[in-house]
Amino acid sequence: MFKHAPSIEEWKNVEVIMECFEVFYDVTENFSGSKCPTANIYFNDICTIYFALKEWLHNPYPFLVSMAVKMIENFEKYWKITNIALAIASILNSCCKMKSVNYFFNLIYGAEFECELKINGISNVLRSLYNEYAVCHSQPRDFFF
């Protein structure tokens, strides 16, 4: 039903977008392919998406850069809400501990100061949660049966 075939430039744009969106396809496969999805798995995949979006900002195709700017703006609304919970879930995984958080935050934030600030923030939240738990469970309790 098209009146004109896409131009060579338009086909190139489609090819660029397809390559970039492979990240989303892979992550979707991970999410939907897991019989037992856990937050620590999501952390790695969500970080992969965030890093990919930030990489698109340095792409030579202006249409992709403008698309990435809009996507990052929307992504960061949810990232601010969920990144701490997902990072803590990853840390509590005995295989990952702080390795995933350190690796992905270094990729995402790059700047040493900002990365260190974000990692310290997560460590402080985790420490605070532990201290709160320790206080609650160190006090003797009366049990009623």
More confident residue, 33 or 126: 126
Please provide the average confidence, as pLDDT, over all residues in the chain: 88
The tens digit of pLDDT for each residue in 79-135 reads 999 999 999 999 988 787 888 999 999 999 987 899 999 999 999 999 999 898 888
> Residue range 55-74: average pLDDT?
94
Q: What does pTM read for this prediction?
A: 0.82
Is residue 73's pLDDT more than 90?
Answer: yes
Contacts of 82 (CB under 8 A, 6+ apart): 46
Cβ(41)–Cβ(30) under 8 Å? Answer: yes
**Residue 145: per-residue pLDDT:** 45
3-state secondary structure 34-96: CCCCCHHHHHHHHHHHHHHHHHHCCCCCHHHHHHHHHHHHHHHHHHHHHHHHHHHHHHHCCCC
- Both tokens assigned to 15: 């090819």
